[in-house]
Amino acid sequence: MRLEYKLKYKDSKTMARLGEIHYNGKVYDTPMFMPVGTNATVKTLSPEELKSIGSGIILANTYHLWLRPGEDIVKKAGGLHKFMNYDGPILTDSGGFQVFSLAKPKDITEEGVKFKNHLNGDALLLTPEKSIAIQESLGSDIMMSFDECVKWPSTHEYLATSVERTLRWAKRGKSVKKNNDQLLFGIVQGGEYADLRKHCCEELVKMDFDGYAVGGTSVGEDKTTMYKMVEYSTPYLPEDKLRYLMGVGDPIDLIENVMRGIDIFDCVAPTRLARHGHAYTKHGKINIKNHKYQEDFTPVDDCECYTCKNYTKAYIRHLITADETFGARLLSIHNIYFLHQLMASIRENIKKGTMSEFRDKFLKEYYGDKHE
């Protein structure tokens, strides 16, 4: 079973694209938002709930699953799909982001990255070859190359060296890939430097990956810088392959980066915000813990999700302040539904050729006077 991507339409006014992902007899439309299931579960939600909300591809985290339960156990279970009972497409990251948050610069060598297990302190080494081997054992549909996710800001000098290492690592990882049913994406690095992004794209394209990700964003940079990183990357990527922007999920960033040629996105934000009592609405994020919602018996937002059709702000506020898990579940359902509906609106406006007008209207409503 091999996932296939088909580009269907390109907007003449922006770089926005419409496409289809074909998998296991089903079709998933892009642009798409992908919920993150770090430990082979999207926090507080069941696979059935995810599908009912409208989720397509979901993510699992290579680093965390390597440490526990271990990739061998997942493989014995029949792979991630059977282990977690999800029959839709699954993407695994390379483990690089977690490693680099734990490692020091001196621990990054040509071989790979040395770091300590955050659970028990054991010394570990993750290499491009090891990352691919783990992901093959996990059995995801899309695997990511092992790369160096560089902090922002970094100097041109450091990033030039880092990009070359990332390219060598990408080549090494691709050379040991065995399972043809699993796609492998290359990751574009280069920070905010146009020449490095262009060079990284061109060299990765020569290696002929199944798809490409824009990495090195959401590491502390401002939105303008993020958008430039994407603008410096997508023009050099093949039109007939998926483009993935890693770790980005703020609503306006989804809109802006679709307009810059991105197809799929992921972020932990919708569920993380939910656990802290925050909800997306058409008029911006709200904090359900605020006192003004104590006697607010209206839905979180005007939408058709399970949460808004059945529960009120007052009730959810009570659950969150009482530390009841059901509150986090309800807000997670709503937040993920909100982003899926946003992506559906984006797709509709690409078809109509009205992305710029849609962005302006969304900005006005989302960041208006009612925004908290």
**Catalytic machinery residues:** 93, 266
Q: Rounded to whole angstroms, how far apart are CA atoms 264 and 60?
A: 15
Query: How many alpha carbons lie under 13 Å from residue 142 in its C-beta half-sphere?
Result: 29
C-alpha triplet 223, 226, 229: angle, nearest 5°: 155
Q: Rounded to whole angstroms, how far apart are CA atoms 367 and 372?
A: 9
First to last CA, the chain: 46
Angle between helices 156-176 and 128-138 (to 10 degrees): 50
SS3 329: helix
- The two tokens of residue 119 are 């659970």
Report the amino acid identity of residue 67: L
Nearest to 254 by CA among 232, 274, 269: 269
